[in-house]
Structure 1
Amino acid sequence: MAHRLLLICLLMIYKVSSKDYWNVNYSLSHMCALKNSSVIINCNYTYPDGHQIMKVFWTKGPVRDVEPPDLSEDPEYSQRLQYLGDKQKNCTMRLSHVTKKDEHKYYFRFITDKPGGKYTGRSGVTLTVTDLQVESPERVTEGDSVRLTCKSSCALTDRATFIWYRNSQPLTERRDRNNILLLQSVRREDAGRCSCATHLHLS
């Protein structure tokens, strides 16, 4: 008489508590900011129970085989970087007066009181810095309608309203969310150098 051996496999699925692992969560992986503006990088972090946070800082990288530098101690950043987070779960920071030299990938790092208690958020945030340019027709005839477009090399992360100028004088008093300005039936006296600027609404 043959005996059948019934194997019962038990699949154990464990729910990992957010308090049991190391993680840094950045709200965005890429940000585009206007030259000379301020950018806010939002993030939060978690770590195992029983650890006490001793140090938190932002760095840029990647840096291998050495302790990553704290940007708040770097003369190029110390006056412009402001840590808005805490030593619990928020790691948001603000970087002011950004320039093309600030185009890097930024990482948040924290250190706890336990051996091996060091962690850097792996994905990081890539910052691109752009400037505004006005796109206009090459030739304009008197009486034409002219379409001007305020453009940047990447899509701005923060919501913006646009302000237009001709020869450094405001063309319109109102701020418009549309980056296009349409001039109807232009006249000879409308000629001049047009430029645009933005007013950013930080999210």
Structure 2
Amino acid sequence: MCLFLTHVDNNCSINNKIISDVFSENGLGVSYSHSHICALKNSSVIMNCTYTYPTGHQIKKVFWAKNPVKGEVHPDLSEDPEYSQRLQYLGDKQQNCTIRLSHVTQKDAHVYCFRFITDKPDGIWIGRPGVTLTVTDLQVESPERVTEGDSVRLTCKSSCALTDGATFIWYRNSQLLTKGTTENKLILSQVRREDKGNYKCAVHGHNHTSTTVYLNVTYPPKSVSVSISPSGEIVEGDSVTLSCSSDSNPPAEISWFKGRTFVGSGKIYSISKISSDHSGEYKCKSINEHGEKYSAAVTLNVMYPPRSVAVSIIHYCQFWEGGSVTLMCSSDSNPPALNFSWFKENQSSAVGSGQSFSALQSGRFYCEAHNQHGSQRSGVVTVIVKGQINICP
């Protein structure tokens, strides 16, 4: 309710009169539904207003002005370029003086008063003190960082209490989180890592949203695993990279172990020109301020061709008509060599196959071991077969 109606004469002199007296005596008055309005930025504001004037007066002009000052002329806002496209008079020239102001911003925070002019010489009037408009933005207040399992409260704040009964809406990562509540708080009990993200609030019925706030949820390492590249068969001499992945916040520090032996740190563990000595089980450990976790072990199985090929005599036997010597070919390889060839020195073709070979004649012999990655021959051994009449054990 406006408590004063100010009469302005043609020379802009001002006389204040108490409405209750003037109304009862002269039938003059301006009434506002709200003396203070708190509106959301970019919203539309309706200032409900009614007025009365004495019998015998005829309304010539009705309009609104802002920030009325004694002794000054108050321009019609509908003729102001800043308002002309946004201000709509919803009233009439009888008793309704309601207006709508659209797309309000902080620059629209003023005192607004209704004015009317009648056909009488002293019929220039302004309703004081008018409507004080405050324009507010929305901001989300939240803790900077929370730990998984904590209870979290986010508050949708404004600089003044919104005049309209506000219903609040919450978004996470631009996805609707709640449909609407009269409470301006969002409670997350037992917060999870999935709750991290960008949060903002809005008021139902308004397009304007608050600034975005990032909720940072910290938690210990989880889902720790190791991947090997290349993922196929690894052959001696290859370059191999082990990568440790870990879901954690803050990011975890990574350590590498072969068996129980520490071998390196960092998310990537690289081995150039890998050898059989690198074969074994590897795992990584992920650790941050909230805890630690090991990955499952992965096995590096390095393939290589035969090496350290050697011949040994495993059996000596003598017969009635002669004797024989059984030779065994051994090698170090991965996968184990399954193919063996036997040669007699100075002969180009093999004289036998298989891991063991029985030499029936004296001579110099060697073996050759094979797998899919290569082959290697042994050194030469001298075999002497004695012809005696004995029986083999």
TM-score, structure 2 as length reference? 0.45
Gapped runs of 5+ residues in structure 1? 1-14
In the TM superposition, 1:1-203 aligns within 5 A as: 18=24, 20-172=26-178, 174-200=179-205
Distance 2:96 2:188 in 1: 47
SS at match of 2:26: coil
Distance 1:140 1:107 in 2: 49
Distance 1:40 1:34 in 2: 12
TM-superposed CA distance for 1:17, in Å, is 6.2
Structure 1 pair 22–191 and aligned structure 2 pair: CA distance change class (3 A): same
- Output the amino acid matched with 1:189: E
TM-superposed CA distance for 1:66, in Å, is 4.0
Distance 2:62 2:50 in 1: 12
**Identity, % of aligned pairs?**
74
Q: Which has the higher contact order (CA 8 A, sep 6+)?
A: 1
Give per-residue Cα distances to partners, 1:60-107, cap 9 Å, x unaligned: 022443431000111110111011111111111110000011011101
Distance 2:98 2:47 in 1: 6
TM-superposed CA distance for 1:18, in Å, is 4.8
Structure 1 pair 16–134 and aligned structure 2 pair: CA distance change class (3 A): closer
CA RMSD of aligned residues (A): 1.8
- Output the amino acid matched with 2:105: T
Conserved? CA contact 1:19–1:46, under 8 Å:
no
Conserved? CA contact 2:23–2:29, under 8 Å:
no
Give per-residue Cα distances to partners, 1:15-44, cap 9 Å, x unaligned: 976582322111211110000001111111
Who wins on radius of gyration, i.e. which is larger?
2
SS at match of 1:160: coil
Greater strand share, 1 or 2?
2
Distance 1:105 1:67 in 2: 15
Conserved? CA contact 1:131–1:153, under 8 Å:
yes
Give per-residue Cα distances to partners, 1:88-134, cap 9 Å, x unaligned: 11111110000011011101000011111110001111100001111
Structure 1 pair 119–17 and aligned structure 2 pair: CA distance change class (3 A): closer
- Output the amino acid matched with 1:176: T
Gapped runs of 5+ residues in structure 2? 1-20, 207-393
Distance 1:19 1:44 in 2: 18
Question: Alignment length, in residue pairs?
Answer: 186
Q: Which moved more, 1:88-97 or 1:131-140?
A: 131-140
Distance 1:106 1:127 in 2: 8
